[in-house]
Amino acid sequence: MSRLESILRNAIFSVIARGIDVGVTFILAVVLARYLGPEGMGEYAYIIAFVAVFVPLIDLGLDHILIREIAHNKESAKTYVGAALLLKIIILFVLFPLGMLSAWLFADASIGLLAIFLCFLGTMVLREIPTVVGYAVFLAYEK
C-alpha cells in the first residue's frame, strides 16, 4: 500500500469515527432532553460542566508522549500503553477524591453528590482513559 493510500485510509477512518461520535452524542442529547425536561437537562449540564473541569487533568500531555514514543519504537507499544494506563489510573485515584471534595464544597446541594460521583466515574473510567489512550496508539501507528 502506498503512502498516499495509507494516509487517505487513516483520514477516512478518523472522519468516520469522529462522525459516529458526534452523531451518538447528538442523539443522546436529544433523548436526554426529552426524558429529563428543561430543569433536569439544566442539572445534567451543570454536572457535566463540573466534571469537565477535571478531564484535562487526567491527560497532562501523556497522550502526546505516548504517540511520540510508540511512533519511535513500535515494538515496545504494549509496555508504553500499559504504563500510560497505569499512570492514568493513578491520576484518577488522586483526582477522584479531589473532585468529590470540591463537589461537596462548591456544588449546588440540590444536584446531589451521587449524580456528580456517577458522572465523574463514567467520564473518567469509561470514556477518557481507554478512548484517549486508544486514539493515541492509533495515531502513533499511522504511516
% of the chain exceeding 70 in pLDDT: 85
Give Cβ neighbours of residue 128 (< 8 Å, ≥ 6 apart): 55, 58, 59, 88
**What pLDDT shows up at residue 22?**
86
Residue 128's pLDDT band (cuts 50, 70, 90): low
Summarised one tens digit per residue, pLDDT across range 69-118 is 888 888 888 888 888 888 888 888 888 888 888 877 877 777 776 677 77
Summarised one tens digit per residue, pLDDT across range 8-63 is 887 787 788 888 888 888 898 899 889 888 988 888 888 888 778 887 887 788 88
Angle at 113 between CA 50 and CA 123, to 5 degrees: 50
**What pLDDT shows up at residue 21?**
81
**What pLDDT shows up at residue 135?**
73
| Alpha helix positions (H), the chain | 3-52, 55-59, 62-72, 77-106, 113-121, 129-141
What is the reported pTM? 0.66
Summarised one tens digit per residue, pLDDT across range 85-95 is 888 888 888 88
**What pLDDT shows up at residue 101?**
83
